[in-house]
């Protein structure tokens, strides 16, 4: 049924400013939420102030809607876009709708998290049929005041429709879905059919900018990239719509000068240290270009375009009996004496939810996992799930370069302290003592360099005084330092997904040969799809015994035996700007 609301005026997500629209039709949940927000901002993490309101407790019940595996625009994307937009609107004032993405979804924790929410929060899910837009609209159509119609023939019109959905409280439909929407009292408010025919993206998004940007959030901007062409996986769109974010897939590639100019205009107007959600378009620019540009504005990137259900999970609090507790092995002030042997530390990054957490082998050997720290407010149940599910051999560290995914070399010096302050707070909250750094602004694991100049190393030591050490790289890097018992080490090896065990073992043996002094500190970055079983097998093939240790032990051992040379990025190091 259509909700009889007047047209929505300008809105802001910034704390203290008024909102209009369905948000004020909330029930007791909102009252509790506001109370928590008002009283508990200190305990809430570093989200843009007031944009996410965790409830006192999870809801007693919620609607669960399974989604199909088809993510083609000429397939099931239309019904998925409808449901995701409806989810964003329905979840604005309380967590009501959880979408069950398919089993092969990249963020694989979507399924274990359902069990976690049932078990730890007592949420009772009312499960609808696959892609059941009809029942969903019957239940939650009241949170929309109409529909925005995207043009089936212009892909970018769907991305514009996400922006409009958030600003105008509209469900996203195409022309085939108009009868269904009408059956639930939802009529077209904005119709994009024919609006963009034959236009390039910079013109399309300029049109959206001129009409909607002023009313969009300055705390969130969504890059609705990733897959291009016939496919789209807009998992993060529910949160963007909930937050009234501006959506585009504008390119940061200098060869797309018009798109880049508009993107610069957008990013320059976002709040300091605000959030860039989503991922760059695989068809337009590169990860290095995009992340570098975001860093230039001192913004935090949460780089997973298909991260699902954040409009729901961000409102789920931690259970009262839970506290983030890491498996520390050494006290921060402890000193360890290394033996004359090889120490190996395996680190998995790339977001725990898309890796091997649920695969066989976890717990078999000491393993270090990089935590995306902003998830403490974007996705508290997911982090609680990981922390509670950890084995004694799982150890957590912070990343990536700070709060979110960022390249420190691209961040202006005057913007770094604000980000570092957020990072320090998150590390403390999450009981993390080591920080992982990655910088692809001048290279990648193939070419160029991923090292930090001394000035930046100085900055990390100064801004993170409580850290027990730092690690750098993604592929290998060569930034090494040691100050006040706190090592700054780089990855010695990158375990590629395709690397067979025998060749990987030969690689490690070669490194051991190349570095004859003992102790030798062999830090390995394990690409997320490699199983822990594979890593254990590789280590088992080595002719020289190695001791596998978690990162805190590794850092403490490296602090006591500096067999590595101090090295910072040199002016003569190769540079590649990731074209």
Partner 1 sequence: MTNPMIRISRHAGIVAVLLFTLSAASPLAAAESPLAGTWRFDRARSTELSPWQDYVLTLTVDGDRVTFARQLGAGRRGFADAMTIDVSRPDNIVPVPMWPDNRHLGAYISGDRTKHVRAAWLDGGRILRLSTDLVLSTQQGDRAVNILSDYKVSANGAVLTLTELRSTRNRPVVYVFNRAPASSK
Pick from 281, 288, 304, 406: nearest CA to 351? 304
Q: Rule CB under 8 A: say whether 503 interacts with partner 1.
A: yes
H runs (alpha helix) in 390-500: 416-429, 454-463
Q: Rule CB under 8 A: say whether 495 interacts with partner 1.
A: yes
Which residues does residue 404 pair with via DSSP β-bridges, in sequence order? 402
CA distance 433 to 487: 12
List, in order, residues 6 or more apart from 413 with CB less than 8 Å away: 459
Q: Rule CB under 8 A: say whether 494 interacts with partner 1.
A: yes
- Residues, the chain, total? 579
Instruction: For residue 519, say if its preceding peptide bond is cis, omega within 30 degrees of 0.
Output: yes
Which one of residues 521, 530, 556, 561 is an interface residue with partner 1 (CB under 8 A)?
Answer: 521
Tokens of 163: 């922006």
Q: Rule CB under 8 A: say whether 475 interacts with partner 1.
A: yes
Closer to partner 1 at the Cβ: 350 or 492?
492
The one segment of 166-174, 399-407, 430-438, 488-496 that binds partner 1 by CB under 8 A: 488-496
Tokens of 308: 């699902």
Which one of residues 493, 539, 555, 569 is an interface residue with partner 1 (CB under 8 A)?
Answer: 493
Q: Rule CB under 8 A: say whether 516 interacts with partner 1.
A: yes
Rounded least distance, CB 484 to partner 1, Å: 20
Q: Rule CB under 8 A: say whether 225 interacts with partner 1.
A: no
Closer to partner 1 at the Cβ: 35 or 575?
575
Closer to partner 1 at the Cβ: 393 or 515?
515
Q: Rule CB under 8 A: say whether 571 interacts with partner 1.
A: no
Q: Rule CB under 8 A: say whether 229 interacts with partner 1.
A: no
Inter-axis angle of helices 287-296 and 257-268, nearest 10: 40
Which one of residues 179, 498, 545, 571 is an interface residue with partner 1 (CB under 8 A)?
Answer: 498
What is the Cα 281 distance to its own chain's centre? 16
Please tell me the count of residues contacting partner 1 according to CB under 8 A.
41
Q: Rule CB under 8 A: say whether 446 interacts with partner 1.
A: yes
Tokens of 463: 């801004």
Instruction: State the pairing for strand pair 404-405/401-402.
Output: antiparallel
CA distance 174 to 165: 13
Rounded least distance, CB 409 to partner 1, Å: 18
Closer to partner 1 at the Cβ: 182 or 577?
577
Asked if 362 and 532 count as a contact pair (C-beta separation under 8 A), the reply is yes
Q: Rule CB under 8 A: say whether 579 interacts with partner 1.
A: yes
Closer to partner 1 at the Cβ: 349 or 444?
444
Closer to partner 1 at the Cβ: 119 or 483?
483
Q: Rule CB under 8 A: say whether 563 interacts with partner 1.
A: yes
The one segment of 9-17, 422-430, 510-518, 529-537 that binds partner 1 by CB under 8 A: 510-518
Closer to partner 1 at the Cβ: 175 or 547?
547
Rounded least distance, CB 317 to partner 1, Å: 42
Rounded least distance, CB 564 to partner 1, Å: 4
Q: How many CB atoms lie within 10 A of CB 571?
A: 6
Asked if 80 and 71 count as a contact pair (C-beta separation under 8 A), the reply is yes
CA distance 460 to 479: 13
Pick from 396, 389, 391, 395: nearest CA to 115? 389
Asked if 300 and 406 count as a contact pair (C-beta separation under 8 A), the reply is yes
Which one of residues 492, 534, 538, 554 is an interface residue with partner 1 (CB under 8 A)?
Answer: 492
List, in order, residues 6 or more apart from 155 with CB less than 8 Å away: 73, 229, 232
Q: Rule CB under 8 A: say whether 545 interacts with partner 1.
A: no
Q: How far apart are the first and last CA of the chain?
A: 50
Q: Rule CB under 8 A: say whether 103 interacts with partner 1.
A: no
The one segment of 85-93, 181-189, 339-347, 558-566 that binds partner 1 by CB under 8 A: 558-566
Rounded least distance, CB 478 to partner 1, Å: 6
Which one of residues 138, 182, 203, 511 is an interface residue with partner 1 (CB under 8 A)?
Answer: 511
Instruction: State the pairing for strand pair 367-372/246-248.
Output: unpaired
What x/- string results for residues 414 through 433 when contact with partner 1 is judged by CB under 8 A?
Answer: --------------------
Q: Rule CB under 8 A: say whether 487 interacts with partner 1.
A: no
The one segment of 95-103, 139-147, 156-164, 512-520 that binds partner 1 by CB under 8 A: 512-520
Q: How many CB atoms lie within 10 A of CB 374?
A: 22
Tokens of 209: 């900018």
Which 260-289 residues touch partner 1, going by CB under 8 A? 286
CA distance 224 to 207: 17
Residue 486 phi, psi (nearest 5): -120, 105
Q: Rule CB under 8 A: say whether 517 interacts with partner 1.
A: yes
Closer to partner 1 at the Cβ: 169 or 285?
285
Closer to partner 1 at the Cβ: 421 or 506?
506
Closer to partner 1 at the Cβ: 246 or 493?
493
Calculated CA dihedral for residues 576, 298, 311, 94, nearest 10 degrees: 170
The DSSP code sequence of 390-407 is --TTEEEEEETEETEE--
Which one of residues 68, 500, 540, 575 is an interface residue with partner 1 (CB under 8 A)?
Answer: 500
Which 524-543 residues touch partner 1, going by CB under 8 A? 543
Q: Give the helix/strand (H/E) hosting 342.
A: strand 342-348
CA distance 301 to 411: 12
Q: Give the helix/strand (H/E) hosting 555.
A: helix 551-560
Q: Rule CB under 8 A: say whether 488 interacts with partner 1.
A: no
The one segment of 121-129, 380-388, 462-470, 503-511 that binds partner 1 by CB under 8 A: 503-511
Q: Which residues bind partner 1 (CB under 8 A)?
A: 286, 444-447, 475-478, 480, 490-496, 498-500, 502-503, 506-507, 509-511, 513-517, 520-521, 543, 563-565, 567, 574, 579
């Amino acid at each position: 049924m259509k909700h009889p609301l007047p047209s929505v005026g300008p809105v802001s997500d910034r704390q203290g400013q008024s909102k209009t629209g369905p948000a004020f039709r909330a029930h007791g949940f909102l009252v509790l939420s506001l109370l928590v927000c008002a009283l508990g901002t200190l305990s809430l993490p570093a989200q843009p102030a007031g944009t996410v309101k965790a409830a006192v407790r999870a809801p007693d019940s919620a609607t669960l809607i399974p989604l199909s595996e088809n993510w083609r625009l000429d397939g099931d994307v239309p019904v998925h876009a409808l449901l995701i937009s409806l989810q964003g609107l329905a979840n604005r004032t309380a967590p009501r709708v959880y979408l069950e993405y398919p089993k092969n979804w990249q963020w694989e924790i979507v399924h274990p998290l359902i069990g976690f929410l049932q078990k730890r929060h007592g949420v009772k899910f009312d499960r609808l049929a696959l892609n059941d837009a009809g029942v969903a609209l019957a239940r939650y159509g009241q949170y929309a005041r109409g529909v925005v119609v995207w043009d089936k023939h212009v892909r970018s019109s769907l991305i514009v429709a996400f922006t409009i959905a958030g600003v105008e409280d509209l469900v996203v439909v195409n022309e085939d879905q108009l009868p269904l929407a009408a059956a639930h009292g939802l009529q077209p408010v904005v119709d994009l059919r024919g609006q963009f025919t034959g236009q390039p993206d910079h013109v399309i998004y300029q049109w959206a900018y001129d009409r909607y940007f002023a009313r969009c959030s300055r705390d969130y901007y969504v890059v609705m990239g990733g897959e291009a062409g016939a496919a789209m996986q807009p998992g993060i769109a529910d949160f963007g719509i909930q937050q009234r974010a501006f959506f585009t897939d504008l390119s940061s590639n200098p060869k797309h000068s018009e798109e880049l100019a508009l993107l610069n205009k957008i990013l320059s107007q976002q709040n300091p240290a605000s959030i860039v959600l989503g991922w760059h378009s695989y068809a337009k620019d590169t990860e290095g270009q995009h992340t570098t540009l975001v860093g230039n504005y001192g913004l935090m990137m949460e780089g997973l375009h298909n991260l699902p259900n954040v409009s729901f999970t961000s409102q789920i609090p931690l259970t009262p009996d839970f506290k983030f507790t890491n498996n520390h092995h050494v006290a921060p002030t402890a000193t360890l004496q290394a033996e004359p042997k090889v120490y190996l530390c395996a680190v998995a990054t790339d977001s725990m939810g898309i890796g091997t957490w649920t695969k066989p082998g976890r717990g078999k050997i000491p393993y270090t996992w990089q935590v995306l720290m902003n998830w403490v407010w974007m996705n508290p149940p997911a982090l609680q799930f990981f922390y509670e599910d950890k084995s004694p051999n799982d150890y957590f560290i912070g990343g990536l370069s700070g709060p979110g995914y960022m390249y420190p070399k691209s961040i202006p010096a005057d913007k770094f302290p604000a980000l570092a302050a957020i990072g320090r707070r998150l590390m403390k909250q999450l009981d993390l003592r080591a920080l992982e750094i990655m910088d692809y602004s001048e290279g990648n694991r193939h070419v160029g360099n991923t090292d930090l100049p001394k000035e930046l190393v100085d900055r990390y030591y100064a801004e993170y005084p409580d850290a027990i050490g730092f690690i750098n790289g993604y592929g290998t890097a060569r930034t090494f330092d040691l100050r006040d018992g706190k090592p700054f080490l780089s990855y010695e090896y990158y375990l590629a997904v395709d690397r067979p065990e025998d060749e990987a073992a030969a690689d490690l043996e070669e490194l051991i040969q190349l570095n004859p002094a003992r102790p030798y500190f062999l830090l390995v970055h394990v690409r997320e799809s490699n199983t822990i079983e594979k890593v254990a097998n590789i280590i088992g093939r080595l002719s020289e015994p190695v001791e596998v240790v978690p990162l805190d032990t590794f850092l403490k051992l490296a602090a006591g035996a500096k067999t590595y040379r101090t090295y910072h990025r040199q002016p003569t190091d190769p540079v590649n700007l990731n074209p």
